Amino acid sequence: MAEPSAATSGMTTPEATTLREAVALDERPTRPSAVSSTLTFAHRALLKIKHVPEQLFDVTVSPIIFTLMFVYLFGGAIAGSTEQYLQYLLPGILVQSVLFTTVYTGYTMNTDITKGVFDRFRSLPIWRPAPIVGALLGDTVRYTIASAVTLTLGLILGFRPTGGVVGVLLAVLLLLIFAFALSWVFTILGLVLRSPNAVMGVSMMVLMPLTFASNVFVDPETMPDFLQGFVNVNPVSHLVTASRELMGGSASFSSVAWVLVASVVMTAILAPVTMRLYRNRS
Amino acid sequence: MTELAVEAEGLVKHFTTRKSVTRAVDGIDLAVPQGSVYGVLGPNGAGKTTAVRMLATLLRPDAGTARVLGHDVVEDADAVRSAVGLTGQYASVDEDLTGTENLVMIARLYGFSAAGARARSAELLDAFGLSDAGARPVKTYSGGMHRRIDLAASLVMSPSVLFLDEPTTGLDPRSRNQVWDIVRVLVDDGATVLLTTQYLEEADALADRIAVIDRGKVIAEGTAPELKSSVGEGALSLHVADPARRAEAAEIVERALGTPVVLDNDSTGLSARVPQEGADAVAGVLPALVDAGIAVPEMSLGQPSLDEVFLALTGQPVDDADASTEEVA
Ligand SMILES: Nc1ncnc2c1ncn2[C@@H]1O[C@H](COP(=O)(O)OP(=O)(O)O)[C@@H](O)[C@H]1O
Ligand SMILES: [Mg+2]
């Protein structure tokens, strides 16, 4: 009988030799820190934005459409003039733009699961939450872009924040913190639901009431009592109030603290649930 | 005795949905010696992926234990993760990223410095013949290239144990041979490879030992020759020129081999299993037919296929139906 084949038995082909050398590893690095692994995953999220820039389309176009639509469609009716309504609306629409962007968190995560990318990460000896926390950090880039687009358009249209640059930046920072905390809702949906599109659909159903049944567009005083009840406990309302105050240069400690506490509580409850689902995924 | 790289005892995983329980893995024992290729052979839905995912710490067993290089996959999952590499349909690289970006990312996650990770990535791309494709997103890769970058990704840290879940399914023969060669080089260098496959031919070509699994259970275990001899040496099939003389030919074959002859659906074909150590008997078939004056334009001796192994081991043909699923009362 002949040997199985020249390429397979002798293993002295150039390919086999390079392969051998490549596989042999003389120096084994030590395990990276939790922070380093997390940043690696955040970097991955940025690379994905670079390679699939289409995903920024929604992030940039929908804030523009929402702002223009609400200012010019309802401005006159709601506040008497578009100019005046813009001062009221812009901090709210900024919040809405960014929160709508958070649905991509769950969508991307579910895509990773369906494609098997997550199983590869889960098979690595790394700090377990790193892929998720890293992805959420990477997502803040998207939130920042959505914020910048909305604010720029607002300034062009005549939005004049009396809180100045500092007030605006603090409002954006607070918004990013809250968006990070809210993202954990979507990581859970991403882990539980079966397909990326299901995640998208359910996420929208979560976000619609959160943003519309709030003080983003109108003063809750004008709403029926039962709705006011919800609007006043809706964390988004508190976030919008805090943003308005910060941009208006008159932030109260209580409204900012409310948002921070809500963010911490959401993360404290939802992050462990996410990690549990992530660990026990089948 | 050689050390075991992978050992499993009574491994069980059942999936419960609202209506039914799927016994994906239903009590599997495995013993994989270090430095060998171990083949887990079974049809679609047999429980191969589920078993590998438990061994690779991705899935918690419902019952039973498993150890990789002595580390328990549940208690000592992190040590297992440090020792193994995983490649499979369900453990893939990121298709949006380039080949280089994927490998650099994984190297970084193992603790390579930025420069070290780039060097490691370049070295692996070169070894896997992907240097020219390193700057392209993986979604532009062909099936064979995709599988090679997956393999490269699982070799970044030179794991001593490698799990390959159906590494050649869907590949053209050339790409399949490349994957086979890679596996051989790795094992030559002392790694242990556990691979799952649906093809007897693949297990035969690569594996030192094979476990045949069906419906979540190991139904046979041994070396390829052992398994084949339990099935016989293969099948003899032939066509007679004159349909009228088929019955006569069948009788001659049956007498020579001593196994039942199966008539094909057409009017001229027939086949029979060659019994263990029946090679000599096969040699007598053709002369006997010639003596009887029966013209045989076509005759072939085939290796037993997975279907035949299954038929012999389970008494039923391979069905692609899923693992045993029971209605919940
Ligand atoms: N996550 C899951 N949930 C429910 N059933 C599953 C799951 N994973 C696998 N199964 C079922 O378990 C059985 C074995 O599947 P699998 O291990 O993928 O087989 P193989 O890899 O051999 O094709 C199949 O019936 C499959 O449908
Ligand atoms: Mg499988």
Q: Is A128 on the interface with B (CB under 8 A)?
A: no
pLDDT on residue B37: 96
Residues B169 and B92 in one domain: yes
Q: Are B71 and B80 in contact (CB under 8 A)?
A: yes
DSSP for A2-34? --S-HHHHT--SHHHHHHHHHH--S-PPPPPPH
Residues B186 and B148 in one domain: yes
B197 touches ligand 1 (CB under 6 Å): no
Most B-contacting residue of A43, A122, A191 (CB-CB within 10 A), to test interface? A122
Q: Is B58 on the interface with A (CB under 8 A)?
A: yes
Residues B258 and B169 in one domain: no
**Beta-sheet strands, E only, within chain B:** 4-16, 20-33, 37-41, 63-68, 71-72, 84-88, 161-165, 192-197, 209-214, 217-222, 234-239, 261-263, 269-274, 298-302, 325-327
> Which residues of chain B are modeled with pLDDT < 50?
320-323, 328-329
Most B-contacting residue of A56, A117, A194 (CB-CB within 10 A), to test interface? A117
- Of B247 and A251, more confident: B247
Phi, psi of B212, deg, nearest 5: -95, 125
Q: What is the per-residue pLDDT across A34-81, written as a single tens digit (0 to 9) for each?
A: 999 999 999 999 999 999 888 888 888 988 998 898 888 888 777 788
Q: Which of A255, A182, A249 is nearest to A215 (CA)?
A: A255
Residues B61 and B10 in one domain: yes
Q: What is the CATH number of the domain that holds B271?
A: 3.30.70.120
Q: What is the CATH number of the domain that holds B157?
A: 3.40.50.300
Domain end call among B205, B229, B253: B229
Binding-face residues of B in 206-265 toward A, CB within 8 A: none
Residues B286 and B195 in one domain: no
Residues B49 and B150 in one domain: yes
Tokens of B290: 């010639």
Residues B142 and B290 in one domain: no
Ligand 1, atom 24, residue with closest C-alpha: B45
Domain end call among B186, B210, B229: B229
Whether B315 maps to a domain, the answer reads no
Distance CA(B144)–CA(B128), nearest Å, equals: 11
Q: Is the confidence at residue A267, as pLDDT, over 70? A: yes
B45 touches ligand 1 (CB under 6 Å): yes
Q: Are B182 and A19 in contact (CB under 8 A)?
A: yes
Q: Is A111 on the interface with B (CB under 8 A)?
A: no
Interface contact B111-A30, CB threshold 8 A: yes
Residues B153 and B298 in one domain: no
Whether B323 maps to a domain, the answer reads no
Helix (H, G, I), strand (E, B) or coil at B136: coil
Mean pLDDT of chain A: 88
Q: Is A276 on the interface with B (CB under 8 A)?
A: no
CB atoms within 10 A of CB B187: 17
Helix count (H) and strand count (E) of chain A? Answer: 13, 0
CB pairs under 8 A between A and B: 128
Q: How far is the CA of B52 from the centre of ligand 2 (A)?
A: 9
Element (H, E) at A108: helix A103-115
Q: Which residues of A136-169 are buried (b: 16+ CB within 10 A; e: fewer)?
A: bbbbbebbbbbbebbbebbeeeebebebeeebbe
pTM score above 0.90: no
Tokens of A207: 């976000």
Contact residues on chain A for B68, CB-CB shorter than 8 A? none
pLDDT on residue A8: 44
Q: How far is the CA of A14 from the centre of ligand 1 (A)?
A: 40
Domain end call among B184, B207, B229: B229
Distance CA(B40)–CA(B211), nearest Å, equals: 5
Residues B170 and B290 in one domain: no
Residues B22 and B85 in one domain: yes
Any idea which residue has 């649905």 for tokens?
A103
The interface predicted TM-score of the complex, written ipTM, equals 0.87
Q: Is B103 on the interface with A (CB under 8 A)?
A: no
Q: What average pLDDT score do residues A189-198 get?
A: 92
Distance CA(B31)–CA(B218), nearest Å, equals: 12
Whether B77 maps to a domain, the answer reads yes
Binding-face residues of A in 15-44 toward B, CB within 8 A: 15-16, 18-25, 28-32, 36-37, 40, 43-44
Q: How far is the CA of B320 from the centre of ligand 2 (A)?
A: 12
Q: What is the per-residue pLDDT across A168-184, written as a single tens digit (0 to 9) for each?
A: 999 999 999 999 999 99
Q: What is the per-residue pLDDT across A120-156, written as a single tens digit (0 to 9) for each?
A: 999 999 999 999 999 999 999 989 999 999 999 999 9
Q: How many domains does chain B have?
A: 2
Q: What is the per-residue pLDDT across B247-297, written as a single tens digit (0 to 9) for each?
A: 999 999 998 888 888 888 888 888 888 877 777 788 888 889 999 999 988
Range of the domain at B49: 4-96+137-229
Residues B217 and B284 in one domain: no
Q: Say which of B94, B124, B181 has its CB closest to residue A117.
A: B94
Whether B164 maps to a domain, the answer reads yes
Residues B76 and B19 in one domain: yes
Distance CA(B212)–CA(B203), nearest Å, equals: 10
Element (H, E) at B282: helix B279-291
Q: Is B111 on the interface with A (CB under 8 A)?
A: yes
Pocket test for ligand 1, best of B18, B19, B22, B194 (most atoms within 8 A of CB): B22
Ligand 1, atom 11, residue with closest C-alpha: B24
